[in-house]
Amino acid sequence: MTELLTAAQMRAIEEAAIASGQVTGLELMERAGRGVVEAIGEEWPELRAGSRAVVLCGPGNNGGDGFVVARLLWQAGWGVEVFLYGEPGKLPPDARVNYERWVELGAVEALNEDALFQSEANRSLDNQDPVVIDALFGTGLSRPLTQDIGRCLSSLHHTDGISFAKHVSVECPSGVCIDSGEVLGRDYLPTDTDLCVTFHRAKVGHYTTALAQAVGKLIVVDIGLDRDPGADLPEIYAGLSAMLGISTQAGVEEFRAAALSEAMEYAQKTLVERDEPVVLLQAGCAEELGKAGWTGEHKYSYGHAFILSGGVGKGGAARLAARGALRIGAGLVTVGCPPGALQENAAALDAVMLRSVADSEALRDMLEDPRINAIGVGPGLGTGAREVDLVRAVLETSRDGKGRGSGSGAGTARRLVIDADALTLLAKDEGLFGLLHKGCVLTPHGGEFARLFPDIAERLEAVPQTGPAYSKVDATREAAVRAGCVVLFKGPDTVIAAPDGQCSVNAAVYERAAPWLATAGSGDVLAGFITGLLARGFEPMQAAETAVWLHVDCARSFGPGLIADDLPEELPTVLRRLGL
């Protein structure tokens, strides 16, 4: 499992490690700088002694990393020029030490456009491959860049006669808030960078579309922080509480009040902030499927998924969802459609069963069958009065012990995926929204999200002026709490959050990019995948995570040219490759 960190969490981890005596800030900075130099060497082995680099250093520890990089490249025989934004006398202590170490080897010039233009690396004709290293701002960015710095960064892109062939960012392209991936102030795009080198763990912002689009390759360097000092804290508190003869909970409060030691405070902060990590979804998702296996005795062992369809000519979306639910392993899948659409659907469905659902009464009767344990509602459904009643019926009969459908359902809530038109209906009707429960998964894209949670979307859209900026992770978490169920906020950076704070990111970026997944109907298949997994007994969060990960894997496995119909058909190949 890979956790994504916020800047504050990273700071807390670093501070706790330093305060515990495990490592010094200077050592961490040295490891960070060395990591950048090694990453450059691995990425471009053709660069060696005689190559040229321009290092842009900022006023904080990101700049400190830059001075280490400059020194190590110089020691490796490179021609290195260093430009500083800020005053040497104001650098924080570790950065100051590395500044002093560098000035024994070379010059430091004040950073401005003219100085960059005049740099030897820019003017030299004998070296076509100078590298520029952006160590201006990392996790400490607190406000938008000033215009002069913004101009310098923009000028690195082959404008105004300045040309650097290779672009490296230390931590992140400067000006980007690493928690949200957003450029503070949003007056320009993140600087394109070939190689972005970050430390210990990737940060949440690295996996947002906004930032990932600007970064060619992300490298995470191990700087020896893997022994998490916060992890030992419960034992330390328990021990100290026992010594003092107080309960652990009270002990925590007393220790805080007494400010026992700096290390304790930092570590406590680490613990609190790391309670609910943001998890990056990776191949491990398949383990859930592996664990679930295919060991049931008959088709009902794998559940019965029901997909509600719209009327004549509108059934394609539900059929795609149904196909997805079947392929992902639901034992049975039934599409329910208005009587008039039976013929159309019958002509297009084989393994998927078909039922006529005239109105909400008919639906409630049908949902008396307790074997129907998962329902997908929304794709191609329509948004009229009939559909409002259908969605209400689905919600009411799926709540614990309420509604006719649950009578024979042994008290277990039926699981639901609410997508597309059903989301639009929820947005229009507070009563319906109030029926949501913890067995539901909402799957909005950006537009649907804004309709459902307009205030949250507005906050997300607002131009961020201070860091940490409100992120898609924050927005999805807030939405999940409000809805009281899992929310899966779609996009190349899909965020999934549960009301209890669990949160994960499925990022179709970097080596998992699949832009061809943005094709009509692919969201319908995703809704079907989730419904199928819910039918198989997956918990809502697990079902959403596993489905969305497989969805991207199917797209990557098929490749460009993909249409939504291909996604379910690609699933067996993907599952086989995963050894399932």
Ligand X SMILES: NC(=O)C1=CN([C@@H]2O[C@H](COP(=O)(O)OP(=O)(O)OC[C@H]3O[C@@H](n4cnc5c(N)ncnc54)[C@H](OP(=O)(O)O)[C@@H]3O)[C@@H](O)[C@H]2O)[C@@H](O)CC1
Ligand Y SMILES: Nc1ncnc2c1ncn2[C@@H]1O[C@H](COP(=O)(O)OP(=O)(O)O)[C@@H](O)[C@H]1O
The item of ligand Y, K ion, ligand X, none sharing an interface with residue 568, based on CB under 5 to 8 Å by kind, is: none
Whether the CB-CB separation of 432 and 391 falls below 8 Å is answered with: yes
Nearest to 267 by CA among 16, 59, 481: 16
**What are the angstrom distances between the C-alpha of 320 and each of 8, 148, 299, 337?**
43, 52, 21, 14
- Joined tokens for residue 34: 């060395």
Give the integer Cα–Cα distance in Å for 321 and 333: 10
- Encoded one letter per residue, x for contact with ligand Y by CB under 6 A and - for no contact, window 421-460 reads ------------------------x---------------
The item of K ion, ligand X, ligand Y, none sharing an interface with residue 185, based on CB under 5 to 8 Å by kind, is: none
Q: Which is nearer to ligand Y, 388 or 527 (CB)?
A: 527
- Joined tokens for residue 159: 């404008």
The item of K ion, ligand X, ligand Y, none sharing an interface with residue 28, based on CB under 5 to 8 Å by kind, is: ligand X
Element (H, E) at 135: strand 131-135
The item of K ion, ligand Y, ligand X, none sharing an interface with residue 474, based on CB under 5 to 8 Å by kind, is: none
Among the listed ranges 104-112, 136-144, 414-422, 566-574, the one in contact with ligand X (CB under 6 A) is 136-144
Element (H, E) at 484: none
Count of residues binding ligand X (CB under 6 A)? 29
Sign for the CA dihedral angle at 57, 63, 67, 68 comes to: negative
Residues in region 218-247 near ligand X by CB under 6 A: 223
Residues in region 4-23 near ligand X by CB under 6 A: 10-11, 14
The item of K ion, ligand Y, ligand X, none sharing an interface with residue 61, based on CB under 5 to 8 Å by kind, is: ligand X
Give the integer Cα–Cα distance in Å for 487 and 479: 7
The correct pick among 81, 171, 419, 553 for binding ligand X (CB under 6 A) is 171
| Cis peptide preceding 464, ω within 30 of 0 | no
Whether the CB-CB separation of 49 and 72 falls below 8 Å is answered with: no
Among the listed ranges 224-232, 307-315, 332-340, 484-492, the one in contact with ligand Y (CB under 6 A) is 484-492
Q: Does 523 bind ligand Y (CB under 6 A)?
A: yes
CB neighbourhood size of 393 (10 A): 25
Query: C-beta of 523: minimal distance to ligand Y in Å?
Result: 2
The item of ligand X, K ion, ligand Y, none sharing an interface with residue 65, based on CB under 5 to 8 Å by kind, is: ligand X
Element (H, E) at 374: strand 372-377
Residue with tokens 């893997």: 226
- Encoded one letter per residue, x for contact with ligand Y by CB under 6 A and - for no contact, window 526-565 reads x------------------------x--------------
**What are the angstrom distances between the C-alpha of 428 and each of 395, 440, 448, 451, 453?**
15, 18, 11, 8, 11
For the purposes of burial, counting CB atoms within 10 Å of the CB of 557, is it exposed (0-12), middle (13-18) or buried (19 or more)?
A: middle
Q: Which is nearer to ligand X, 468 or 521 (CB)?
A: 468
Whether the CB-CB separation of 513 and 560 falls below 8 Å is answered with: no
Q: Does 570 bind ligand X (CB under 6 A)?
A: no
Beta partners for residue 418, in sequence order: 377, 442
Element (H, E) at 418: strand 415-418
The correct pick among 56, 73, 82, 145 for binding ligand X (CB under 6 A) is 145
| DSSP-derived 3-state class of residue 75 | helix
Query: C-beta of 80: minimal distance to K ion in Å?
Result: 17
Q: Does 319 bind ligand X (CB under 6 A)?
A: no
Query: C-beta of 63: minimal distance to ligand X in Å?
Result: 6
The correct pick among 32, 72, 278, 330 for binding ligand X (CB under 6 A) is 32
One-letter amino acid at 405 equals G
The item of ligand X, ligand Y, K ion, none sharing an interface with residue 134, based on CB under 5 to 8 Å by kind, is: K ion
The item of ligand X, ligand Y, K ion, none sharing an interface with residue 199, based on CB under 5 to 8 Å by kind, is: ligand X
Residues in region 64-93 near ligand X by CB under 6 A: 64-65, 92
Among the listed ranges 75-83, 144-152, 471-479, 509-517, the one in contact with ligand Y (CB under 6 A) is 509-517
The item of ligand X, K ion, ligand Y, none sharing an interface with residue 32, based on CB under 5 to 8 Å by kind, is: ligand X
Contact residues toward K ion (CB under 5 A) are 134, 169-171, 174
- Joined tokens for residue 104: 């024994």
Q: Which is nearer to ligand Y, 70 or 212 (CB)?
A: 212
The correct pick among 522, 531, 542, 546 for binding ligand Y (CB under 6 A) is 522
Among the listed ranges 117-125, 321-329, 386-394, 512-520, the one in contact with ligand Y (CB under 6 A) is 512-520
Q: What angle do CA 270, 274, 275 make, to 5 degrees?
A: 120
The correct pick among 250, 463, 520, 563 for binding ligand Y (CB under 6 A) is 520
Q: Which is nearer to ligand X, 60 or 380 (CB)?
A: 60
Query: C-beta of 411: minimal distance to ligand Y in Å?
Result: 33
Q: Does 140 bind ligand X (CB under 6 A)?
A: yes
Residues 6+ apart with CB under 8 A from 213: 190, 509
- Joined tokens for residue 303: 């559940």
The correct pick among 62, 270, 383, 398 for binding ligand X (CB under 6 A) is 62
CA within 13 Å, CB half, 144: 15
Query: C-beta of 145: minimal distance to ligand Y in Å?
Result: 27
Q: β-strand 131-135 against 52-57: which pairing, if any? A: parallel
Largest CA distance in the chain: 84
Q: Which is nearer to ligand X, 14 or 553 (CB)?
A: 14
Beta strands in 123-181 (DSSP E): 131-135, 166-170, 176-177
Q: Report the interface residues with ligand Y, using CB under 6 A.
A: 445, 490-492, 494, 508, 514-515, 517-518, 520-524, 526, 551
